[in-house]
Amino acid sequence: MTKINQTSIYHGGCHCGAVRFRVQVKKRKGVDCNCSICSKKGFLHLIVPKADFELLQGKDFLTIYQFNTKQARHTFCRRCGVHSFYYPRSHPDGVDVNLRCLDGMVLDQFQIEPFDGQNWEDNITQIT
């Protein structure tokens, strides 16, 4: 079993393969948010510093969706529509990777905690 604080490199991307990335993970702790957009997409969050994320290919395939405060930049592949990562409002110096978009069957290597994003303003300080 992989330890929660063991540093590892993961690769991932969108469904069609146009978007590919590499992420260095120092803490295997994910978040399952129930807000309107995350619950519809099934996004499982892994927030990492921008320095630990590298977009390997597909910049030209990315489209950005913004809503409400327009601070978060929700990126998705314009070819297949998969939302493999985005730039979150909560962590402006980070990248939020969708754990479901990592290569292989790796979800069991992560501790997933629920987050009440329906009440985002009241709970955002809980995400570290």
Give the model confidence (pLDDT) of 81-104 as tens digits. Answer: 999 999 998 889 999 999 999 999
Burial class (CB in 10 A: 0-12, 13-18, 19+), 54: middle
Task: Provide the 8-state DSSP code for 62.
Answer: E
Whether residue 10 contacts residue 106, with contact meaning beta carbons closer than 8 Å, is answered with yes
Cα separation of 112 and 24, whole Å? 18
Torsion of CA 80, 24, 40, 93, to 10 degrees: -110
Cα separation of 111 and 44, whole Å? 11
In CATH terms, 8-113 corresponds, of 2.40.160.210, 2.40.50.140, 3.30.930.10, 2.170.150.70, to 2.170.150.70
Nearest to 18 by CA among 77, 73, 101: 77
Structure tokens at 66: 């913004």
Give the model confidence (pLDDT) of 22-44 as tens digits. Answer: 999 999 999 998 888 888 989 99
Cα separation of 98 and 38, whole Å? 10
Tell whether the model's pLDDT for residue 126 goes beyond 70: no
State residue 111's pLDDT score: 94
| Domain range summary for the chain, segments of one domain joined by + | 8-113
Give the model confidence (pLDDT) of 63-80 as tens digits. Answer: 998 887 877 799 999 999
Cα separation of 82 and 47, whole Å? 18
